Amino acid sequence: MSTFRVIADREIRLALRNRSIFITAVIFAIWFPVMSAFGVAAGAGGDAAALAAGIAAIILLIGVFMGYIFCADAFLREKRDGTIETLLCTPVSLRRLWEGKAAGVAVPAYLMTLVSAAVTIAVVSTLTGAPVAAEPLLLLHLAVIVPVWVVASAGLIGAAQLVLGMRENQILGFVFIFGFFFLIFGLQEVAAGGPGISLVTEGILAVAGVALVALARFIAGKVTKERVVLTIP
């Protein structure tokens, strides 16, 4: 079994066993889509394409936030309990460690995002009667774009947690949360009644997501073990 898979499997198990994070993700995956679905349904009426656009925008943000929720403790946990020092003594590079951990937390984050998407689609379909689930670009969005952005979110947060100290990471968490909710309120105003999903938009999102993943991988590869040791409390 490869080192990458061992690390990823370990992170998946730890993420699913962390009750506080899992319960937070479940509550958010159900509560936020239900609240947002009413605004999307009211703004788009019965236009399936416009409804799909609103759902796609909301689910993308949820995926990003899920990546943050599941990754928020992945690296900090090991800095707090000193486990990271043991890992730094192994022959595994920091980039490989980051890849395994980011992939490991991205799996439950993406699965929870799909649950949220199913809830959103069900509520919107019930309110409007429109066949939203049959929109091919929405399905493409959920199958390709969302997982890329989930990995990007988890990867960037993970890279930041490697580089930054505990206090800086706490500030980063507050900035991310407040920025996320600011985007939510702005998105609800813009997404409802939008023109629909297009291949051009999906292509741009795909390129941007891959670029963010590459940026996170670059940052993780530049971090030295000495730098990580200096950030351990």
pLDDT tens, residue by residue, 109-119: 999 999 999 88
* Identity of the amino acid at 87: L
Q: What average pLDDT score do residues 66-76 get?
A: 80
pLDDT at 146: 92
Reported pTM: 0.82
The Cα–Cα gap between 4 and 153 comes to 19
State mean pLDDT over 43-47. Answer: 62
Q: How confident is the model at residue 188 (pLDDT cuts 50, 70, 90)?
A: very low
Q: What integer pLDDT is reported at residue 190 of this predicted model?
A: 45
Q: What is the 3-state secondary structure (H, E, C) of 40-84?
A: HHHHHCCCHHHHHHHHHHHHHHHHHHHHHHHHCCCCHHHHHHCHH
